Amino acid sequence: MAKYLLGTRGSALALTQSGMAGQQVADAGGFEVDLEIVKTEGDILTGPLSQMGGTGVFAATLRTRLLEGDVDLAVHSLKDLPTLPTEGLTVAGIPQREDLRDALCARDGLTLETLPSGARVGTGSPRRAAQIRAARPDLEIVDIRGNVGTRLARVAGLESYGTEGKKPQGDCDAVVLAASGLKRLGFEEVITDYLDPSQILPAPGQGALALEIRTAEVEADSELARAVAAVDHLETRLAVTAERALLRRLEAGCAAPVGTYGRVIDGELVLDSLVAHPQGTETMRASASVAELTVEAAEQLGISLADSLLEQGAARLAGLTL
């Protein structure tokens, strides 16, 4: 039986996601997929993620290994993947999206509404920080980073989720994480409040995975390319295509205070978006939809919604450099 190597980061979340997606591809193709752990720059450097030199710190090393032929397949969290394509690589499969909402994980069952004034909320994401500040200007945002367990351990009562051997923290009242990652890891029980997109808009691509292979495989219509294409989910692909087109048009990366929510309802692709002032003092929302369910129309929808945000002054508001 043929065997393919899937390059993955070594975090619990990356291993879980790679294992799940790799199994789907293996089942579709009737071959074996083995995981190979690759240490990436984002795992080695420390410091605020928003200051680590833009997008793609996690994806870059995996992509190099893929291009060099050391591995055959990489599974990325789509929201961590730069919006510009990489020469020689193709995202050939986007499986059905998990829960795309952000999730508040608070002590004592608290919610965004019931957190007491002055409560400390941990997040390293300018998008989450800005929207939480907009909803609750009386909370204190604490800049945190690290993998899911490390971030959960910052919450009083959830210290045991941290990596063993590391000092317990518990210095926050809550943290905000993606519901998808928590669910995939089986940590759903820590979620005390699902933040609905009507309240907090998620990051472009949040909850979706991107299966990337060498473009040469796609061109050769290889068995790997066919198996990866078989796990592609059209509605997810349309939604994330529109979300990422909007992000690219704004020339914003994963560190920008930009949220989007795309989905197909009643045969239409609907896209909501938000651009925020980093301090949450002002937010701007806009929505649009298209009845044509093609990747090209999805791309166009994202671009035109971004243009209308830019016309309303989004670049100045969010401090984007255009």
Can you give the binding site for ligand PBG, defined by CB under 6 A? 77, 79-80, 177-178, 180-181, 206-207
The radius of gyration of the chain's CA atoms, rounded to the nearest angstrom, is 19
Q: Can you list the positions of beta strands (E) in 45-88?
A: 73-77
Find where tokens 């928590």 sit.
182
Encoded tokens for 295? 């990747």
Say how far residue 270 (Cα) sits from the centre of its chain.
19
Q: Which residue, 177 or 274, has its beta carbon nearer to ligand PBG?
A: 177
Closer residue to ligand PBG in complex, CB, 190/227? 190
26-40 burial, b at 16+ Cβ within 10 Å, e below that, comes to bebbeeebebeebeb
Burial class (CB in 10 A: 0-12, 13-18, 19+), 303: middle
Contacts of 61 (CB under 8 A, 6+ apart): 38, 39, 40, 41
- Which sequence positions are flagged as catalytic? 80
Nearer to ligand PBG, 104 or 250 (CB): 104
Residue 221 Cβ vs ligand PBG, minimum distance, rounded to whole Å: 29
Rank residues 177 and 228 by Cβ distance to ligand PBG and give the closer one. Answer: 177
Smallest distance, Å, CB 87 to ligand PBG?
24
Cα–Cα distance for residue pair 50/250, rounded to 1 Å: 17
| Nearest distance from C-beta of residue 242 to ligand PBG, angstroms | 16
Q: Least separation, in Å, of the C-beta of 291 and ligand PBG?
A: 28
